[in-house]
Homo-oligomer: A and B are copies of this chain.
Amino acid sequence: MTGINKAACIGGGVIGGGWIARFLLAGIDVDVFDPHPEAGRIVGEVLANAEKAYAMLTGAPLPPRGRLTFCKTLEEAVAGADWIQESVPERLDLKRRVLTEIDAVARPDALIGSSTSGLLPTDLQRDMTHPERLFVAHPYNPVYLLPLVEIVGGEKTSAATIRAAMERLAPIGMKGVHIAKEIEAFVGDRLLEALWREALWLIHDDICTVETLDDVIRYSFGLRWAQMGLFQTYRIAGGEAGMRHFLAQFGPCLAWPWTKLTDVVDLDDALIEKIGQQSDEQAAGRSIRELERIRDENLVGILQALKGGDGGKGWGAGKLLKDFEQSLWAQGGRAATSFHPSKPLKLVETKVGPAWVDYNGHMTEHRYLQVFGDTSDALLRLIGVDLAYVEAGQSYYTVETHIRHLGEAKLGQAIHSTCQILGVDEKRLHVFHTLYDTATGEALATAEHMLLHVDSKAGKATPAPAVILDKVKAIAEAHANLFAPEGVGRHVGQKR
């Protein structure tokens, strides 16, 4: 995949901040220009949220965070960048002026994306000397978690620019979707606008409150749309008779007098106040910060759930996350071969996410084994047992496990694990993991495992090849000098 080397972000509000977080967490240096006096604070808050979310989202090894620099001038920020993202307020004259300034100082081969949620790229690129490299890259809030970027070209945008832009989004975990023709508001905001207008009428006419309307969405079609969208869902609704049958049946309804489609609601002070009051009631005292936290935790949970979709292969945004993690492991695995194993290997670092705790905030029993399993996986990748190796038909399987609980991991806590190799022969690999509270260094749990090298198809143990054994033996020899960890060889109920 072709990656971005250096990004420039012009405008650092909530959307610009989200882009900045995406780039930094993917290991890309970012230079920012934003004259707003609060820009540093806002970007810092978005970045803090993004880091919390990523820590829960994935156990894959993120690259070292990119370097963040606030620049005094636009020119300074843009210098040397190969992706420049403009996220200034939504006014055509302002955006046009900023993009023309960027155009004057950017590298000739730089890609220039605009975060506009509705302006036409043809209008934006009008005054540029190199308009072929300008495109709309419209993301969704929170940019650090929602993968979608609508990619839209204007009359003068080159096909090569669109291709290059699409290619560079996957390595930062995003999903570029190319909109074939430019229209105001593109696709997502057109759909949102249509529904939003109808929603305002329903509140205006006292058919329901904002809480009822939200409940109608989130207990029904919201759950369908998170995974399949509109048409695929209706394809299923059509059943064996198929999509054409469904449409033919549905067609007449469109002419029914079901919506206020010819009128635009007047969003006057009275309606604003009504919605504001109902929204306050719905929030039930929760602050915006708290709602943001809940939203992000839920997004993380949904993305992780979809990662298991389609029989474990991943579905939609979950498939994207799975692909992103695999590319991180591929890179992280390479970096990890330079480890010096003179002490237990530090292999997994993560945070206790909301889906991992019980109602009183303690990490659930089986999540301890999840971290220990991830630790074994990280060790295996380190010795060459990666996805390609497993797909070729051999692997290590855990056959026996002993866990001791020494303390409690709690929601939001940073934890990490280490691995000490106790023994290895042709077929067997004997390891001892420890899980730590990262802040205090306290050991929370230990796990002793026996793994067997197997031929997956035959379902039988088989000797590991030399290429693997050499790597694991090198670590095992270094670990032979370490003390045997406390608790090795224990059986359940044994006196201390």
Contact = CB atoms under 8 A, between A and B. Distances in A.
A267 B251 contact: yes
Interface in A308-342: 308-313, 315-317, 320
Contact of A222 (B184, B226, B372, B428): B226
In the complex, the 9 A-B pairs of residues with the closest C-beta atoms, listed nearest first: A214-B229, A301-B305, A308-B355, A222-B225, A148-B220, A194-B198, A148-B219, A226-B226, A210-B231
A231 B275 contact: yes
Contacts of A271: 247
A192 interface: yes
A147 interface: yes
A215 interface: yes
B493 A491 contact: no
A450 to B, nearest CB: 5
Contact of A357 (B210, B311, B369): B311
Given A210-B231, A400-B493, 5 more contacts: A188-B216, A194-B195, A213-B229, A298-B306, A308-B354
Interface in A162-205: 175, 177-181, 183-185, 187-200, 202, 205
Interface size bucket, A side? 35 or more
A224 B191 CA distance: 14
Contacts of A366: 366-367, 369-370, 372-373
Interface in A199-241: 199-200, 202, 205-233, 235-240
Contacts of A275: 231, 243-244, 247
Nearest to A300: B305
Contacts of A222: 222, 225-227, 229
Interface stretch (A22-30, A75-83, A280-288, A378-386): A280-288
A205 B146 CA distance: 27
Contacts of A198: 190-191, 193-194
A37 interface: no
A403 interface: yes
Interface stretch (A64-72, A101-109, A252-260, A435-443): A252-260
A255 B187 CA distance: 18
A302 interface: yes
A408 B458 CA distance: 13
A317 B216 CA distance: 11
A60 to B, nearest CB: 15
Given A216-B148, A366-B373, A491-B490, A231 B361 contact: no
Contacts of A243: 275-276, 279-280
B148 A215 contact: yes
